[in-house]
Amino acid sequence: MLDLRELYQQVILDHNKSPHNFRELVDANRSAEGYNPLCGDKFSVYLKLEDGRIDDITFQGSGCAISKASASMMTSLLKGQSVEEAEALFGKFHDLVAGDTSPDLEEVGKLAVFAGVKEFPTRIKCATLAWHTLKAALRGKGDHVTTE
Ligand code: ZN
């Protein structure tokens, strides 16, 4: 069993303190709001989609360190990626934090810092909130998602 302190690796703390792409995207053509009532995490994800590619991606809102760091890292990794690549990475990330089998850590890259989340079931929804919100944004504008 992991110690809870080990879950909060430095990279997570750094992203929480200075999140990347933390702003509203004025020329977004997709957005969604996500809410995790278990923890109180609430984020909006903004996308500028062009020809099936994520031209720009930002987020805003508030939440715990895990949810904010996850959103921050997600936006950094997905900028410039295709929708298919984004969905594939979400699949691997979901396996990493909640799946029965773990993906190859090399395939998830920097997201590997969230591997410890699996041992803390109440934190899984924090880690995946931004990704579920992204999925809603990809489906259409103005969706609201909740983890419950
Ligand atoms: Zn949380």
82 φ, ψ (degrees, to nearest 5)? -80, 165
> What pLDDT is stored for residue 29 in this prediction?
93
Out of 8-17, 57-66, 87-96, pick the least confident: 8-17
Higher pLDDT, 102 or 115: 115
CA of 62 to the centre of ligand 1 (A): 9
Kindly state whether residue 148 falls inside one of the protein's structural domains.
Answer: no
Over pLDDT 90: what percentage of the chain?
72
Cα of 50 vs centre of ligand 1, distance in Å, is 31
What number of other Cβ atoms are within 10 A of residue 103's Cβ?
Answer: 17
In this prediction the pTM is 0.91
Overall domain count for the chain: 1
Which CATH number does the domain housing residue 34 bear? 3.90.1010.10
Range of the domain at 66: 2-143
pLDDT at 143: 62
CA distance 87 to 45: 15
11-25: pLDDT as tens digits: 999 999 999 999 999
Rounded to the nearest angstrom, the distance between the alpha carbon of 4 and the centre of ligand 1 is 14
Instruction: Compute, in angstroms, the gap from residue 51 CA to the centroid of ligand 1.
Output: 33
What is the percentage of the chain residues whose pLDDT exceeds 70?
93
> Which residues 6+ apart lie within 8 Å of 96 measured at CB?
102, 103, 108, 111, 112, 114, 115, 117, 118
Structure-derived torsion over alpha carbons of residues 128, 50, 85, 115, reported in degrees to the nearest 10? -30
